[in-house]
């Protein structure tokens, strides 16, 4: 396995495929998944001549599972170490859900010297939590429920979570058992402590200032039926905070639209990269 060892000794697993001289596309996955969530994109863009890189966030997938350090500052620093170790330049950064927070915080914390463009899909920024200043957010009780589900029986919780994640509870939507099984397997490959800690990072961290610092062309894609990261508190606000961003709303789109609508998503991202 290919790994980068970070300054604190944590091994971060990554895939590095496609043309070595192709423009790099770096993918940051959602919670509680791994780089495998990007299979449809890694194959598609790799076959299009790009260099495609995806890592497993610490505590997730095949990366190490440290007890401490499961926070967005560290996740952003880990991403920086991967980009530095591979000396990636002119990179397109694509972040889904929590990975969108990771990408935004990477730029907020480390700048955009290595970045050409940014894609945020179903991303958590600016803030998921409902507060007095963010009434469109999700109440803290919902995130406490996620913590309880992970702590008590994460295997069943992850399997059940796939229903709203992919919109399988909507009329006319066919349940894809392969997606459900893959989601649970990816979740169980990671460590419970890192995944538990990460709930705070995707729900209660405010990424507003990070979004304001994004100074590269940015494509924001969000489903208007996203039941995990509701669009009113995320995509709608992020599009206003990232200067000059392009905003695409998928009507009826779920949180997992990069998988359920992979052909459309891939085509939109390819058009954006080539523009």
Domain assignments of the chain as residue spans, ordered by start:
3-274
pLDDT band of residue 221 (cuts 50, 70, 90) is very high
pLDDT band of residue 94 (cuts 50, 70, 90) is very high
What is the percent of the chain where pLDDT is above 70? 100
Q: How many other CB atoms are found less than 10 A from the CB of residue 274?
A: 8
What's the pLDDT score for residue 116? 98
Q: Is 255 a catalytic residue?
A: yes
Average the pLDDT over 122-136 and give the result.
98
- What residues are paired with 67 via a beta bridge? none
CATH 3.40.50.1820 assigned to domain 3-274? The reply is yes
Q: Is 97 a catalytic residue?
A: yes
* Active-site hit among 226, 234, 245, 254: 226
What's the pLDDT score for residue 46? 98
pLDDT band of residue 196 (cuts 50, 70, 90) is very high
Q: Is 96 a catalytic residue?
A: no
Average the pLDDT over 141-165 and give the result.
98
* Active-site hit among 29, 60, 96, 255: 255
Length of the chain: 275
**Closest C-alpha to 68, from 196, 213, 245:** 196
Average the pLDDT over 54-82 and give the result.
98
Asked if residues 94 and 116 have their Cβ atoms less than 8 Å apart, the reply is no
* Active-site hit among 34, 35, 63, 97: 97
Scanning 91-139, the segments in alpha helix (DSSP H) are 98-110
What's the pLDDT score for residue 162? 98
Q: How many other CB atoms are found less than 10 A from the CB of residue 5?
A: 12
Mean predicted lDDT score pLDDT of the chain: 98
What's the pLDDT score for residue 35? 98
Average the pLDDT over 31-45 and give the result.
98
pLDDT band of residue 209 (cuts 50, 70, 90) is very high
What's the pLDDT score for residue 264? 98
**Closest C-alpha to 235, from 83, 128, 156, 93:** 128
């Amino acid at each position: 396995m290919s790994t980068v060892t970070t300054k604190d000794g944590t091994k971060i697993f990554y895939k590095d495929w496609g043309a070595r001289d192709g423009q790099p596309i770096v993918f940051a996955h959602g919670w509680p998944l791994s780089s495998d969530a990007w299979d449809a994109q890694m194959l598609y863009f790799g076959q299009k001549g790009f260099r495609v890189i995806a890592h497993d966030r610490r505590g997730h997938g095949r990366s190490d599972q440290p007890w401490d350090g499961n926070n967005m500052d560290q996740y952003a620093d880990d991403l920086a170490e991967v980009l530095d170790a591979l000396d990636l330049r002119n990179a397109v950064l694509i972040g889904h859900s929590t990975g969108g927070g990771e990408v935004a915080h990477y730029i907020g914390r480390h700048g955009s010297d290595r970045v050409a463009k940014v894609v945020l899909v179903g991303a958590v920024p600016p803030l998921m939590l409902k507060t007095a200043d963010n009434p469109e957010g999700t109440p803290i009780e919902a995130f406490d429920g996620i913590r309880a589900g992970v702590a008590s029986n994460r295997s069943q919780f992850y399997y059940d979570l796939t229903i709203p994640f992919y919109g399988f509870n909507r009329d006319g939507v066919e349940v894809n058992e392969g997606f459900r099984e893959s989601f649970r397997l990816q979740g169980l490959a990671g460590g419970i402590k890192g995944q538990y800690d990460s709930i705070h990072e995707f729900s209660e961290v405010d990424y507003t200032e990070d979004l304001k610092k994004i100074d590269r062309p940015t494509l924001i894609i969000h489903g208007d039926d996203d039941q995990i990261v509701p669009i009113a508190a995320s995509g709608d606000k992020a599009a206003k905070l990232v200067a000059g961003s392009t905003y695409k709303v998928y009507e009826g789109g779920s949180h997992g639209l990069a998988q359920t609508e992979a052909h459309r998503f891939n085509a939109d991202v390819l058009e954006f990269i080539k523009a």
